[in-house]
Amino acid sequence: MTRSRSETPPPSEPDTHPRKRRGPGGKRRTLGELLPAPLQPWYQAARPRSLPATYVPLFIGGAAALADKAFDPARFLIALVGALLLQIASNYINEYVDFKRGTDAQKVDGMGMVLSRGQLNADQVKAGAIASTLGGVILGLILVLGGRPVLLLIGGIGVAVVIAYTAGPIPLAYLGLGEVAVFWCFGPLMTLGTYYAVTGQLTWTALLAGVPIAFTVAAILHANNMRDREADIAAHKNTLAVRLGVRGARVEFMVLVYGGYVTLLALALAGVSPMPALVALFTFPEALWLVRLTTRTNRPAQLHQAQGRTARLHFWFGLLQAVGWLVFALISLTR
């Protein structure tokens, strides 16, 4: 999930990060460009546009805990930082393995690609992946030793996916299992893990609350794979976009995007999610626009824009659900 080889961002890059400042000539500068030069390639390799995949489900899990009057801010912060470190580690590993396998050499658009551009070397990225993984594991162990033993299982699954996504003898991303892994790890498991880390309890509500955003987070990855389809075919990376073909990939994107809205409505009507969470339905016009775009073009530049806007859709879709949970919590406190 990377930027174009040209340094000009696509027209509608998602605004899910700190506000951009104007540089010389009035050109907007990204947060990465505001960092000291040695840190910029690390920021790019971390793929910041993908990070909403982590903090959106944590916001929902934390808001659900608050609604149940069991929120612990210190534990929530540890869980948030630990999860972000593990996702950054996954992005570094993906950067390293794709470079080694020659996948990046075929790409035209995308984020990261710091190795193919010579901004960092392979040993540096490998070290960054190891350090990020260790940081996430250490923070997870702090929670485990603080009375959350089930996190050993939930966190163990997360670490295994981080490593197996593009590395190892059976890399998930190369077998067409990327969307499945992302769906579960950045949806139900993440909301349940956050809720458990904060409250010490396991509930079906916390698990199911992550299903709607599981669809949209998988859509981010699938949009990325639709954009990189030709490059992945050349590199023998058999993503679902490759396996299903152009028409099948478009149908999958439609199912993933619309699936989030259908499950959110179903959970609210079933009494699992609070009715205020339905405020997230206001993002549906953007979902319609994205489906129209991805079903009408195969151009990598336009699909890159679609991938970025899918990340933005996921951010607002999930954030508004978290806001709905918070409103429900405030209403409950007044009763």
Tens digits of per-residue pLDDT, 141-151? 999 999 899 99
More confident residue, 306 or 275: 275
Res 42: pLDDT: 84
65: which 2 tokens? 């805990």
Res 81: pLDDT: 94
Residue type, 111: M
Average pLDDT, the chain: 84
Residue type, 116: S
- Find, among 88, 95, 107, 103, the residue nearest to 48 by Cα: 88
45: which 2 tokens? 């390799």
Band (pLDDT 50/70/90 cuts) for residue 319 is very high
CA atoms within 13 A on the CB side of 281: 13
Cα dihedral 182, 210, 311, 158 in deg (nearest 10): -30
C-alpha pair distances (Å), 109 with each of 10, 80, 163, 172: 10, 30, 24, 22
- What is the distance between the alpha carbons of residues 290 and 253, in angstroms, rounded to a whole number? 9
Tens digits of per-residue pLDDT, 29-79? 666 667 777 778 888 888 887 788 888 899 999 999 988 888 899 999 999
Res 35: pLDDT: 72
More confident residue, 301 or 202: 202
Q: Residue 161 pLDDT > 70, yes or no?
A: yes
Res 6: pLDDT: 37
Q: Where are the alpha helices (DSSP H) in 68-187?
A: 73-101, 122-145, 151-164, 178-185
Tens digits of per-residue pLDDT, 91-140? 888 888 877 776 655 555 555 567 777 778 888 888 999 999 999 999 99
Fold topology of 42-333: Farnesyl Diphosphate Synthase (1.10.600)
Q: Residue 10 pLDDT > 70, yes or no?
A: no
Res 105: pLDDT: 55
Query: Residue for token digits 């250490």?
Result: 138
Tens digits of per-residue pLDDT, 246-295? 899 999 999 999 999 999 999 999 999 999 999 999 999 999 999 999 98
Query: Residue for token digits 């020659």?
Result: 102
Res 88: pLDDT: 92
Q: Residue 237 pLDDT > 60, yes or no?
A: yes
Q: Residue 203 pLDDT > 80, yes or no?
A: yes
The answer to whether the CB of 166 falls within 8 A of the CB of 97 is: yes
- What is the distance between the alpha carbons of residues 264 and 280, in angstroms, rounded to a whole number? 9
C-alpha pair distances (Å), 144 with each of 124, 130, 160, 178: 30, 21, 17, 28
Mean pLDDT of 176-198: 92
Residue type, 142: I
pTM (predicted TM-score): 0.81
More confident residue, 26 or 175: 175
Res 106: pLDDT: 56
DSSP label of 18: S
Mean pLDDT of 186-196: 94
Res 14: pLDDT: 43
